[in-house]
Structure 1
């Protein structure tokens, strides 16, 4: 192995210490992290809301401004990947495994335990519209804007300024050579910390859902032992994928993910209540747009009896921010040659619409079963857990067992590509931004990720995973704010390319 960087040594030491802590004293780990998480959400929920909405505003500004014509690379460079491959990478790295986990569970939860700001009574069909609207909100423009800010900044400095592919390199316009010293090491270590725990959260969700699926389809008890076996098997698979490199393992699996996800969604759309689903999508998407600003600034300030916003919106914004260094670095790596405007529209608009359709199909099908088909989906979810929600719905339709097996394959594939992408990013961040990190470094980080997910599940289940994500996100949101400042400082020195004129045929002369 080549000489190890300080970021690798420090990041590895922190992660290893956390794993040992979880093994030796899981209850103490759960108590300490829970206390930190409670303090952050209670005292800084407003900060997360303002920051996330600020990133949305910044992304929109760049897309509509003259800066949108600037290329992420040299002016004569063309995109490295086709639109299909690029969107496959976005979907796989961004939130694919989360969509599968929450596609049914979140809307159903909002129906029976609605936001106090929705103005509806829980457990009624009236609550369904607000339930889907908040699902669109939590998985729509805000998370993808968060990703786009990090990815755009990294891609700009890497491909246009030839800087190293590490987050600290984006700070050079602000702190100069300090970006290559101790301050840069501190920034990149925070990135490693956030990536490990952000990804571990989703890996934990995926593990629990795979266990839930195996329970429903094959009758296997979804015990912690089964979940540890799942983590072990998936770890071996994604390490094999990791060794094959970006253009083989991740690229092929990303396309497989898109194929399986679209196939599953279309089958349920046309075998389920098609008209109800599409009506729900159309009406709710309009409501999401109309209520966008109001939802973006909602807190529980004047309703002291609820912590709904803390438990949902604040958690999600923290989760997306914790994922941002990982997803941002990966998206930046595959976005060379695109303009800023093309990049922002592709990264925000396309996944937002796809996510809304996903929740309409899976959440809408569950709502239809609950209120119009006499199937008590919510009670099953309450008894068996959120991880069984998707499979509970699929079992109610034709070829339910086949669909459930496809869903299992999709979850496993997302699990593999998410972990594979994360090991790639961790390798980049701990090898001075190498675009092709050494395999031994990726294997080490792969083991650390899996061990972290296992320890968090052992110490407190999914709640421990959520807690870790919120804690990891807090320092990185501050880094993101300074990344925006640094990017703008550099963009102001750019020569804006002229508008491309559309060639028009010459006018015919009148005879």
Structure 2
């Protein structure tokens, strides 16, 4: 599947003066001790160790049992995998196309951390891995010789072989990634919940996500992830082994593969514990460059005109056949062996990788709307995959159709040799094969590294979505993945890894249904909030006592760029007294209301003040006046703070972010009425939401309700 090696480093942005996002890197790793979720760690660790020991001690029995379970799943639950994959596509497309598609993965005021070019480049980076090198040649040839229906080795089989490969590596899998990325990013960055799968289930089971139910979900996700990663590493190992044999005559056997696994684990552990994220990120970027170079090499050295024609034809065939392929269970033909070996395996593999890659995609997409995220995730990586598979797959088919049956036999019987065997048909094979081997090694190491990082997060109790699990836990999972990979290779090689992934993906596919339901309920709450605001109008200059502000006062306010001293004086002389007066009135009406005026971390100049009204079991009301720094403009004659390079707006923040207007200059009565306007809209939001199932509360208790200003002491927007 896809490589996500920039997971832990991809969230570093450039500084700016507008506070819209928390510091991307979070607090220094050594300053905060991340607690371990021992129930998830012990449960998953015991299951994986037991499975690995069983596979190593009784490989024949393990192979028989795994094969039998796979046959049962293919016969009785194949329809479930097909239906699940299709429903996920429909769900994410509906979310993107609906009004909820405008909702951000973060507070309302958040800006994308990365500009469009950088973001799409990272999506592109997530789209390739060592397994793509493996299947881009072997699958088209295999589909040509043995298609699911009809005779093979004819022109129709050749035409559809690449289309089946694109189907298995295409939009369906990236829809699964988009679903998980939305769930991670929406609940973590918009509501301050842990960057964990259990957070997406809050609308369904409430606070029980912090108990055994949440632990069970994380355990299922972890088991699927480790088997999915192990499958990719197993494929990478056997292919690298042949690459070394091809270049240097190193023998192909289990001993060499074990040594490669040990080397990969050591490199992954070193990367995990040393924090060399920038180095890994550069290696990932180098991988992309090398991969593009290989693709262009085959395109230019091969039959260029034929390949360009084939790319266009593949696009047309894929678009025409995609709906039929998505729901085709082959009920009449019943090719169970083909289904379990191809479509069902790929869907289970994508499901297993969905938490892994979804977490990476969420980490680089804070501030993007759900629509931007879905469209980008489902198009950018697939565009590269389409080109890669079309070029390499059609080049392989061109050889086979042209009569090179020896190459076809190699691609089908020993698929790990297919990529190198194709390169051998072109000049300069030694250089091309060396680049392919180096690229595969880097993909292998970075997949193991980032996989260990994600699994350490799944087995930790992380409250800050910008933190990662302890270093020793990353090392533990890097080693555990290596041991599991070795165990599966001992049992039966890549085929057994594929079968185990198909089985382990089944329980998490059920979790994905729960995630869709939970996310949809949360988005319905957002719809209620939007409806409550649709009928409310706000003028940033109108008096909240019903009188219009005098035009000279308006003019003075528009040309004023107050410094820290003016903002601080307003907070203490106007805003805090006004909100305290309102809190007294609310308490007299029987409502629990409190006001806090507190310093801002890393800003000793201006405080913030927050009114909090407890409305349990519904979502609490928050009205926060927070100082937002901006560069002082130098145009016109209005500059009132010539000695400072920044001025302050006192913006109002609600539970979902900045409301986008400045209250500095309001009188106490105006501020009180503005807060009451917000409170009235909030009560209307609660009333409207009662028409739909689910509570307005999404993971935010009285003590946990976000006051966004506290998380926005520094801006980390990327403004380039």
**Shorter-chain TM band:** over 0.9
Q: 1:417 to 1:80 in 2, by over 3 A?
A: farther
1:22 Cα deviation after fit: 2.0
Match of 1:262? 292
* 2:360 paired residue number: 330
Q: 1:212–1:387: 8 Å Cα contact kept in structure 2? A: yes
Q: 1:286 to 1:165 in 2, by over 3 A?
A: same
Is the alpha carbon distance of 1:151 and 1:246 closer, same or farther for their aligned partners in structure 2, counting shifts above 3 Å? farther
SS in 2 for 1:291: helix
Shift of 1:16: 1.7
- Determine the C-alpha separation between the residues in 1 that align with 2:48 and 2:341: 26
Of residues 79, 82, 86, the one that matches 1:46 is 79
Whole-Å separation in 2 of the counterparts to 1:378 and 1:174:
51
TM-aligned CA deviation for residue 92 of structure 1: 4.8
Instruction: State the shift of 1:295 in Å.
Output: 0.5
C-alpha offsets along residues 396-430 of structure 1, whole Å, 9 cap, x if unaligned? 11211111111111111111111111111111111
1:199 and 2:232 matched: no
1:253 maps to what in 2?
A: 283
**Corresponding residue SS for 1:71:** coil
Matched residue, 1:481: 513
Q: Output one character per residue of 1:225-279: Cα deviation in whole Å (capped at 9) or x when no partner.
A: 1111111111112222223448424422221221111111112111211111111
1:343 equivalent to 2:376? Answer no
- Structure 2 residue runs without a partner (length 5+): 1-32, 535-720
Aligned to 1:387: 416
- 2 CA distance for matches of 1:50 and 1:361? 30
Could you tell me how far apart the structure 1 residues matched to 2:401 and 2:326 are? Answer: 29
The structure having more radius of gyration, on CA atoms, is: 2
Q: Which residue of 1 aligns with 2:478?
A: 446
CA-atom RMSD, angstroms? 2.1
| Per-residue CA distance 1:104-154 (angstroms, 9 max, x = gap) | 1111111111120xx5x3123332110011111111110000111111111
- In 2, the alpha carbon distance for the partners of 1:221 and 1:322 equals 32
Do the aligned partners of residues 176 and 374 (structure 1) sit closer, same or farther apart at CA in structure 2, a change above 3 Å counting?
closer
Deviation by residue 1:34-73 (Cα, 9 ceiling, x = unmatched): 2222211211100000110000111111121111111101
The whole-number CA distance in structure 2 between the counterparts of 1:468 and 1:86 is 34
Which structure carries more relative contact order (alpha carbon 8 Å, separation 6+)? 1
Q: 1:285 is matched with which residue: 312, 315, 333?
A: 315
Q: How many pairs align?
A: 495
Q: Which residue of 1 aligns with 2:451?
A: 422
In structure 2, which of residues 50, 54, 57 is the aligned counterpart of residue 24 of structure 1? 57
Q: Distance in 1 between matches of 2:66 and 2:334?
A: 24
Matches within 5 A, 1:352-363: 352-363=382-393
Write the mapping of 1:182-197 to structure 2, written as runs, cut at 5 A. Answer: 182-197=212-227
In 1, the alpha carbon distance for the partners of 2:97 and 2:385 equals 23
Contact 2:241 2:252 in 1 (8 A): yes
Relative to structure 1, is the Cα distance of residues 246 and 322 closer, same or farther in structure 2, using a 3 angstrom cutoff? Answer: farther
Relative to its length, the structure with more helix (as a share) is 1
Q: Normalization by structure 1: what TM-score?
A: 0.92
Q: Does the Cα contact within 8 Å between 2:148 and 2:335 map onto a contact in 1?
A: no
**1:300–1:308 CA contact under 8 A, matched in 2:** no
* 1:300 shift after superposition: 2.5
Deviation at 1:14, TM superposition (A): 1.6
Length-normalised TM-score, structure 2: 0.66
Q: Using a 3 Å threshold, how does the CA distance of structure 1 residues 246 and 437 change in structure 2: closer, same or farther?
A: farther
